[in-house]
Structure 1
Amino acid sequence: MNENTPLLGDADATGTTTASDDAAHRDRAIVNPATGAVIRTVADNTAAEVDEAVRAAKAAFESGPWPRMPRSERARHLLRFADAIEAHTETLFQLETRNNGRPITETRAQLSRVPEWFRYNAGLLATQRDAVLPGDGPYLTYQRRSPLGVCGIITPFNHPLLILARSLSAALATGNTVVVKPSEMTPLTTLALVDILREAGLPEGVVSVVTGGREVGERLTGHPDIAKITLTGGTEAGRAAAVATAARFARVTAELGGKTPIVVFDDIDPVVAAEGAAFAAFVAAGQSCVAGSRFLVQRGIYDAFVEALSARASAIRIGDPVRPETQLGPLISGVQRDKVLRLISTGIEEGVRVAAGGGIPDLPAELGSGYYVQPTVLADATMSMTVAREEIFGPVAVVVPFDGEDDAVAMANDNRFGLGAGVWTRDIARGHRVADRITAGMVWVNDHHRLEPSLPWGGVKESGTGRDAGQESFDDFTWVKTVVVRTAADDVDWYGHAEPGRLN
């Protein structure tokens, strides 16, 4: 079965030929996870094709117009890109929903913000100032920032377009050229986006896309002409990328796994907290690195919270993600669905109580081949249980009771990950205090998963290194040159002076 969803154009991953017309390509079926139907096929690029894409990007960097444009002109290009993306938003909403199974209402809310990242980085570029540094003596010292060169961006299946835009907009604004490798499961909106950028005036070779699985990612990450890798994915993938880039001292920004703690204190209405918890746990079917996956709830409201969260989970409408009434779609694949179900079974064996969900929902026949799991609440867990320690990446909320503030902070930090965290309390001093004590790259108080182009995104510990978005990401796509200019009228003659000056 093939849904025959077209992209905006017929170019393949490297923008040269249609994949099915080239016998050297191995084609990969791209599946709609809601139905199991094939949407279309996309090439698995070869190592030689990855090399070709990098060569084109290197040529565009070394001799093309993009890095040499006046900053104001490059900023205008980014603004045009934002307008062009906005003009194609409906196509992108529909395509991404069919490709990764996220409900159309969520996809629309997320992708409608993609142009913001291009506009934000255009603004940073247009207002960029080079630092003048203080120093003694007759010297003017200043810094200049230059683009790194060819950058590789490796994106995941869960938020393919938004995560790409976060890095791509900064890389382009600073004058780099880029080779993108999307998840082998969700390449369609990435390919469509590059078509949009080319139609809006992106010069040849500035952005290429290579598609395929692990081998393609390894070839790109290990390529000697790649100056920086930005990767969003699993911790082991990030570790491998760090090793590969370290061999040539290339830069790496890696947003990796998470096991986000949500701390709920007993000074808040448990129903209010449960409504926020439901969003944290079940948005994107729990397939987010910052998904609220372990809820640490103070004993005074523990039972009421579990009851309210279970009621909310049981009421979530599961179905075809293209329908506007659907609130929860499928997982990305049968492999991921089976992994989630195994972890739920492990939790039951270790003693959790299934307060809601726990299995595969009963759905219409046309969705019977989709990869669905019920929104699940596992109550009465302890921090030693597998489900409280390992990333599940599915619609599963694990609830653990705690006693006091110190207990909550210790439990929140008792994990190898440190990407995101949440705190729910009506005591504003406590909110600040606990947020400061939790070891995580991002902490939300009385909300979850809120982001802006100006907010640096990333984690600590095994959740990664570096930051996406914000001024930090913009700057990290450049290298700094310090220029020291002697302004004194006399000549420099170190050896001709009877009393040598200071040597720095």
Structure 2
Amino acid sequence: AVCPSPSVFVGFAGGGGGSGRWRWGGAAAPNFKRVSLELGGKNPNIVFADCPYEDTLQTALLSSFSNQGEICLCGPRILIERPLYETFRDDFVERTRGLAVGDPRDTGNRLGAVVSEAHMDKILSYVELAREEGGRVLCGGQRVRVNGRCKDGWFVAPTVIEGLSPDCRTNQEEIFGPVVTLLPFDSDDEAVDQANGTPYGLAAMVWTDNLGRAHRVAERLHAGIIWINCWMLRDLRTPFGGMKQSGVGREGGFEALRFFTEPKNVCIKM
């Protein structure tokens, strides 16, 4: 309804790949409208053995389960260098089990309800799919029932899964919920291949104390925004947007100015 309107020259939308491709892209293209789309992702969180460990562990917890994982910039695929894998896995699972789920008005809770019953069912269906694909659920994986005013809420326990192949559906498709997978890697090349091995390219995180490695890996990652030893730090003057099926276009700073304005050539003879 918006794109075909002659009074609309450009459009921006955020959402899933299907809605972006068919609803916005399909409506904009026949009408020669510019459109900028942010369409989510399957962001990798790459943890090298020389990472700043405590910051990495705590921030990985936040980037996995903030807002119940319903943030397009969350990192649901945690890639861990093999020498650190078991230690990180055990500590991460222990802290995940300590996250309280329930009424968001209770300051002791860290996760609230997901957006709808249908979305809860989708999330739980992916947990079952992960089991079918050979994954092992280390914690979570079920609906959480609470008492009080939120007793009918759609709560899902924060879930950690290991043992899946990088190319399985659970690691390829956006779940958009409190579900993360753990994958080991043995080299920089393998980490980059796994990180880039999805249809998405919105964001990525790299954790290492080796600045040279950080630059080399970041250069090779197919992602619109890359955080080194941090997450969700952003200056609104810098470009933001994704690659591949994570969208087209950029917002922020001069990129937004270029997108939402049209250059003109005005010639005057005096």
- What's the TM-score, normalizing by structure 2? 0.95
Question: Match of 2:199?
Answer: 416
SS at match of 1:284: helix
Aligned counterparts of 2:268 and 2:242: Cα–Cα separation in 1: 39
* Cα RMSD, aligned residues only: 1.6
Report whether the alignment pairs 1:223 with 2:5. yes
Given residue 193 of structure 2, which amino acid in structure 1 is its aligned partner? Answer: A
Aligned counterparts of 1:349 and 1:468: Cα–Cα separation in 2: 39
Given residue 6 of structure 2, which amino acid in structure 1 is its aligned partner? Answer: P
Question: Match of 2:16?
Answer: 234
Report whether the alignment pairs 1:335 with 2:118. yes
User: CA offsets per residue over residues 364-416 of structure 1, 9 Å max, x none?
Assistant: 24322101101111122221222111101001111111110001001111110
Given residue 162 of structure 2, which amino acid in structure 1 is its aligned partner? Answer: A
Displacement after TM superposition at 1:455 (Å)? 2.2
Aligned counterparts of 1:304 and 1:485: Cα–Cα separation in 2: 71
Question: Match of 2:211?
Answer: 428
Displacement after TM superposition at 1:362 (Å)? 3.9
Greater fraction of residues in helix: 1
Report whether the alignment pairs 1:455 with 2:263. no
Aligned counterparts of 1:385 and 1:356: Cα–Cα separation in 2: 20
State how 1:47-58 maps to structure 2 within 5 Å.
none
Question: Match of 1:256?
Answer: 39
User: CA offsets per residue over residues 445-486 of structure 1, 9 Å max, x none?
Assistant: 111122232122110111101112222112211100123567
Given residue 397 of structure 1, which amino acid in structure 2 is its aligned partner? Answer: V
Report whether the alignment pairs 1:441 with 2:234. no
Question: Match of 1:19?
Answer: none
Given residue 294 of structure 1, which amino acid in structure 2 is its aligned partner? Answer: R
State how 1:60-75 maps to structure 2 within 5 Å.
none
Question: Match of 2:28?
Answer: 245
Does structure 1 conserve the Cα–Cα contact (< 8 Å) formed by 2:51 and 2:208? yes
Does structure 1 conserve the Cα–Cα contact (< 8 Å) formed by 2:76 and 2:179? yes
Report whether the alignment pairs 1:344 with 2:127. yes
Q: Work out which of the two has the higher radius of gyration on C-alpha atoms and give 1 or 2.
A: 1
Given residue 261 of structure 1, which amino acid in structure 2 is its aligned partner? Answer: P
Aligned counterparts of 2:40 and 2:156: Cα–Cα separation in 1: 21
Given residue 119 of structure 2, which amino acid in structure 1 is its aligned partner? Answer: Q
Aligned counterparts of 2:66 and 2:30: Cα–Cα separation in 1: 38
Question: Match of 1:287?
Answer: 70
Report whether the alignment pairs 1:360 with 2:143. yes
Aligned counterparts of 2:135 and 2:53: Cα–Cα separation in 1: 21
What are structure 1's unaligned runs of at least 5 residues?
Answer: 1-218, 488-504
State how 1:72-471 maps to structure 2 within 5 Å.
219-240=1-22, 241-471=24-254
Given residue 398 of structure 1, which amino acid in structure 2 is its aligned partner? Answer: T
Does structure 2 conserve the Cα–Cα contact (< 8 Å) formed by 1:270 and 1:308? no
Does structure 1 conserve the Cα–Cα contact (< 8 Å) formed by 2:145 and 2:155? no
Does structure 2 conserve the Cα–Cα contact (< 8 Å) formed by 1:270 and 1:301? no
Say which structure, 1 or 2, has more relative contact order (CA 8 Å, 6+ apart). 2
Does structure 2 conserve the Cα–Cα contact (< 8 Å) formed by 1:306 and 1:379? no
Overall identity of the aligned pairs, in %: 36
Given residue 388 of structure 1, which amino acid in structure 2 is its aligned partner? Answer: N
Displacement after TM superposition at 1:269 (Å)? 4.8
SS at match of 2:256: helix
Given residue 414 of structure 1, which amino acid in structure 2 is its aligned partner? Answer: G
Aligned counterparts of 1:320 and 1:395: Cα–Cα separation in 2: 16
Given residue 13 of structure 2, which amino acid in structure 1 is its aligned partner? Answer: L
- What's the TM-score, normalizing by structure 1? 0.52
What are structure 2's unaligned runs of at least 5 residues?
Answer: none
Runs of 4+ in 1 over 4 A off after TM superposition: 484-487
SS at match of 1:479: coil
SS at match of 2:166: coil
Aligned counterparts of 1:428 and 1:236: Cα–Cα separation in 2: 38
Given residue 246 of structure 2, which amino acid in structure 1 is its aligned partner? Answer: S
Does structure 2 conserve the Cα–Cα contact (< 8 Å) formed by 1:423 and 1:445? yes
Aligned counterparts of 1:349 and 1:246: Cα–Cα separation in 2: 40
Given residue 226 of structure 1, which amino acid in structure 2 is its aligned partner? Answer: V
Aligned counterparts of 1:451 and 1:363: Cα–Cα separation in 2: 35
Given residue 242 of structure 1, which amino acid in structure 2 is its aligned partner? Answer: G
Aligned counterparts of 1:260 and 1:227: Cα–Cα separation in 2: 31
SS at match of 1:292: coil
Does structure 1 conserve the Cα–Cα contact (< 8 Å) formed by 2:236 and 2:252? yes
Given residue 175 of structure 2, which amino acid in structure 1 is its aligned partner? Answer: I
Between Structure 1 and Structure 2, how many residues are aligned?
Answer: 269
C-alpha spacing 1:254/1:300, structure 2 compared with 1 (3 Å) = same
